[in-house]
């Protein structure tokens, strides 16, 4: 199956390139640490407002950091594609018999792999800082699965956006315009009970919120299946839609 | 069988831009064939249709007998491509770049290993295989770029402006590699260029292309002979201004219809006069022009070059069309003149 081998080679190319950039490794490791430590310090006193049972803001926010990391990591995946377009790497590849779809699939898979490594770092760090994982290892794996769907959807969407808009500046502007509200219009930083009414309605159409709710259930509350089931459906739909959009844009460009 | 054949090949871009406008040509097996023309003539668009990157709007093309639209995948297996932009991966070594392309062309690991060694040798990069491409010079990148299109031993190699932006020494070495490929591999080469010299020295046959149309096709000698005799270049003025233009057109009028002249072509500050015998024509030209009160600043004679061929068929010089670098040079010159 050449589509699988081609995807593998392109994934490895992408990962290899990232590993060789010291700045990239530093950012990958440092960013989640920064967010986890910094945000939990800033909002420390919110711990008491988290409702009955209390709990720490760290316990509340750790799933949010996971989602944030995946959101920002995947939303910028398309910049690699832009680089390949601008430097002529993409054209040259497409003049070979390489399976077309592998060229975009490899990049997306590489993005998701890196994001899951970041997620693992966050979880280890959270454990050290004293976060309690209600559902244990199986729950963490389930969280990874939900995060992978989220990353897949956004990475594919970002690549599609890059192929559609073609210019660094425009893609950057649109990406920022989308990611920031997605993060804030959810219960990522603030419990739903403390959000204003309108925001609680808006967050119902925000896929990020589903990822946050799912991850928070698994880490802090346990298997709340009616939540988790909905999270899975929404994130799977997001992944399918993202991949469809990315593939469509790629086909328009490549064929 | 011909390596490449096109029939009424056409590409129209949105906005009704006819980048390639119904061209017909054949490239023979084992031939170096050059598309010569200024920027924007339709050279790159033609190459991208032939190597399956963009579909033609109408017309057909075959590469090694395969239709570029219907058999695109088969065509890709038979061709190599080096674009004007070097499409190499900065964050990988030369060997990794080449190996990746070996996989893309479905070669097995053992073959890839052998070919990598052989091709690095061919393009003179042996010893740099394991260095990161980011440390390569421009010439080395170009050679790696060529190598990546060679690993599967293609039958036809497409080279889009292979030496644009390279220094003269590197350019000469790239020419040498291209010749070597044809000689040792029996490969067919289709290249585009806006350098007269490149087409003249490298290509077996040349198609001159302008505004999406082939306006002349033949060997360099045939094209030059089509002008016939010698070219006498007359400069009737010093500055490149409106007054100069007027002198040029007055000169052209003064020489019109004389039996010893086969044709004339005016540019902004020069007049090219095509004659059978330059040596005997020069005194007559001088006489005719001074009779009209036109003072000739310089006059020179040369065998026709491809530049003259281009000028004759299009009415402009390729150099004048060369784009931003010339424009910048002109700006500098204008500024210098003003400061004086």
Q: How does residue A57 score in pLDDT terms, banded at 50, 70 and 90?
A: confident
Interface test with A, best of B44, B69, B79, B87 (most A CBs within 10 A): B87
The model's pLDDT over A151-190, given as tens digits with 9 standing for 90+, comes to 999 999 999 999 999 889 999 999 999 998 999 999 888 8
- The per-residue pLDDT for B331 is 43
d(CA B154, CA B63): 11
Which pLDDT belongs to residue A255? 55
Q: What pTM does this model have?
A: 0.81
Q: Chain B contact for A89, CB < 8 A?
A: yes
Element (H, E) at B188: strand B188-193
- pLDDT higher than 80, residue A54: no
pLDDT at A13 over 90: yes
**Nearest alpha-carbon partner for B171 in B134, B201, B147:** B201
Is the alpha carbon torsion for A206, A212, A215, A221 positive or negative?
negative
Q: What angle do CA A96, A89, B157 make, to 5 degrees?
A: 45
Rounded alpha-carbon distances, angstroms, from residue A244 to A22, A110, A160, B298, B309 = 33, 18, 9, 67, 52
Backbone angles phi, psi at B76, to 5 degrees: -60, -30
- Would you state the pLDDT for residue B328? 43
Q: What residue in A sits closest to B71 (Cα-Cα)?
A: A97
CA distance B8 to A157: 39
Each residue's pLDDT tens digit, A121-143: 999 999 998 888 888 899 999 99
Q: Does A96 touch chain B (CB under 8 A)?
A: yes
Tokens encoding B236? 């009737």
Greater confidence, A97 or B302?
Answer: A97
Interface of A with B in 17-36 (CB under 8 A): 17, 20-21
Q: Which residues contact B279 (CB under 8 A, 6 or more apart)?
A: B230, B301
What pLDDT is stored for residue A51 in this prediction? 57
Over residues A70-80, the pLDDT tens digits come to: 998 898 899 99
pLDDT of residue B103: 95
Q: Smallest Cα–Cα separation from A27: which of A107, A113, A118, A109?
A: A118
Q: How far is B335 from chain A (nearest CA, A)?
A: 33
CA distances from A111 to A65, A76, A159, B9, B162 (A): 17, 9, 11, 41, 34
- Chain B positions touching chain A (beta carbons under 8 Å): 51-53, 73, 76-77, 79, 81-92, 96, 100-101, 103-106, 132, 145, 148-149, 158
pLDDT at residue B65, as a whole number: 95
Which of the residues B104, B142, B146, B149 would you substitute to probe the A interface, choosing the one with the greatest number of A C-beta atoms within 10 Å? B104
Question: What does the alpha-carbon distance between residue A25 and residue B202 come to, in Å, rounded to a whole number?
Answer: 47
Q: What is the pLDDT of residue A254?
A: 66
Q: ipTM of this predicted complex?
A: 0.86
Interchain contact, A9 vs B77, CB within 8 Å: no
In angstroms, the CA A74 to CA A43 distance is 26
Per-residue pLDDT of chain B (340 residues; tens, 9 = 90+): 899 999 999 999 999 999 999 999 999 999 999 999 888 899 999 999 999 999 999 999 999 999 999 999 999 999 999 998 888 998 999 999 999 999 999 999 999 999 999 999 888 899 999 999 999 998 899 999 999 999 999 999 999 999 888 888 888 888 988 888 888 888 999 999 988 889 998 999 999 999 999 999 999 989 888 877 788 888 888 777 777 888 888 888 888 888 888 888 888 788 888 888 888 888 888 888 888 888 888 888 888 888 888 888 887 776 544 443 334 444 444 444 444 4
Calpha distance B226→B224 (Å, rounded): 5
Residues B233-254 as b or e (16 or more Cβ within 10 Å = b) = ebbbbeebeeebeebbebbbeb
CB-based burial, B31-46: b 16+ in 10 Å, e otherwise: bbbbbbbbebbbbbbb
Q: What is the pLDDT of residue A215?
A: 93
Pick from B73, B75, B86, B89 the residue to mutate for testing the A interface (most A CBs within 10 Å).
Answer: B89
Q: How far is A180 from chain B (nearest CA, A)?
A: 31
Q: How far apart are CA B215 and CA B42, in angstroms?
A: 12
C-alpha A187/C-alpha B199 separation (Å) is 66
């Amino acid at each position: 199956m050449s589509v699988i081998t081609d995807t593998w080679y392109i994934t490895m190319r992408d990962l290899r390139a990232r590993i060789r950039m010291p700045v990239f490794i530093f950012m990958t490791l440092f960013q989640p640490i920064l967010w986890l430590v910094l945000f939990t310090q800033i909002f420390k006193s919110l711990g008491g407002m988290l409702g009955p049972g209390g709990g720490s803001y760290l316990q509340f926010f750790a799933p949010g950091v996971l989602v944030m990391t995946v959101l920002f990591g995947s939303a910028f995946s398309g910049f690699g594609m832009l680089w390949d377009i601008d430097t002529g790497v993409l054209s040259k590849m497409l003049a070979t018999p390489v399976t077309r779809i592998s060229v975009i699939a490899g990049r997306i898979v590489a993005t998701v792999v890196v994001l899951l490594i970041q997620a693992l770092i966050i979880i280890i760090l959270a454990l050290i800082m004293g976060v309690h994982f209600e559902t244990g290892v199986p729950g963490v794996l389930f969280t990874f699965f939900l995060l992978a769907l989220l990353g897949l959807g956004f990475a594919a969407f970002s690549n599609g956006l890059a192929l559609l808009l073609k210019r660094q500046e425009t893609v950057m502007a649109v990406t920022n315009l989308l990611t920031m509200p997605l993060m804030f219009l959810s219960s990522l930083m603030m419990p739903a009970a403390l959000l204003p009414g309108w925001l609680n309605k808006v967050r119902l159409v925000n896929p990020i919120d589903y990822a946050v709710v799912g991850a928070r259930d698994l880490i802090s509350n346990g298997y709340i299946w009616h939540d988790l089931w909905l999270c899975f459906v929404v994130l799977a739909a997001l992944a399918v839609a993202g991949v469809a959009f990315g593939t469509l844009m790629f086909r328009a460009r490549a064929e | 069988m011909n390596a490449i054949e096109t029939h009424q090949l056409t590409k129209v871009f949105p906005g009704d831009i006819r980048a390639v406008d119904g061209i017909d040509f054949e490239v023979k097996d084992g031939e170096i064939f050059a598309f010569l023309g200024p920027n924007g003539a339709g050279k790159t668009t033609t190459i991208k249709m032939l190597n399956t990157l963009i579909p033609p709007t109408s017309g057909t093309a075959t590469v090694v007998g395969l239709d570029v639209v219907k058999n695109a995948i088969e065509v890709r297996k038979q061709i190599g491509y080096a674009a004007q932009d070097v499409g190499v991966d900065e964050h990988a070594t030369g060997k990794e770049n080449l190996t990746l392309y070996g996989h893309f062309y479905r070669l097995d690991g053992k073959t890839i290993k052998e070919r990598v060694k052989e091709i690095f040798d061919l393009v003179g990069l042996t010893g740099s295989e394991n260095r990161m491409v980011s440390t390569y010079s421009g010439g080395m990148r170009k050679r790696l770029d060529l190598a990546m299109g060679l690993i599967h031993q293609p039958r036809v190699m497409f080279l889009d402006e292979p030496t644009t932006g390279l220094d003269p020494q590197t350019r000469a070495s790239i020419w040498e590699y291209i010749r070597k490929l044809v000689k040792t591999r029996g490969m067919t080469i289709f290249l585009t260029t806006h350098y007269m010299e490149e087409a003249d020295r490298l290509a077996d046959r040349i198609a001159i292309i302008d505004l999406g149309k082939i306006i002349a096709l033949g060997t360099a000698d045939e094209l030059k002979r089509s002008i016939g005799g010698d070219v006498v270049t007359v400069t009737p003025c010093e500055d490149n201004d409106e007054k100069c233009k007027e002198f040029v057109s007055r000169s052209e009028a003064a020489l019109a219809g004389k039996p010893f002249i086969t044709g004339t072509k005016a540019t902004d500050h020069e007049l090219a006069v095509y004659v059978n015998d330059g040596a005997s024509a020069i005194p007559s030209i001088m006489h005719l022009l001074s009779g009209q009160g036109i003072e000739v600043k310089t006059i020179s004679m040369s065998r026709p070059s491809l530049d003259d061929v281009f000028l004759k068929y299009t009415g402009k010089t390729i150099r004048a069309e060369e784009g931003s670098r010339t424009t910048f040079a002109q700006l500098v010159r204008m500024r210098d003149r003003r400061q004086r």
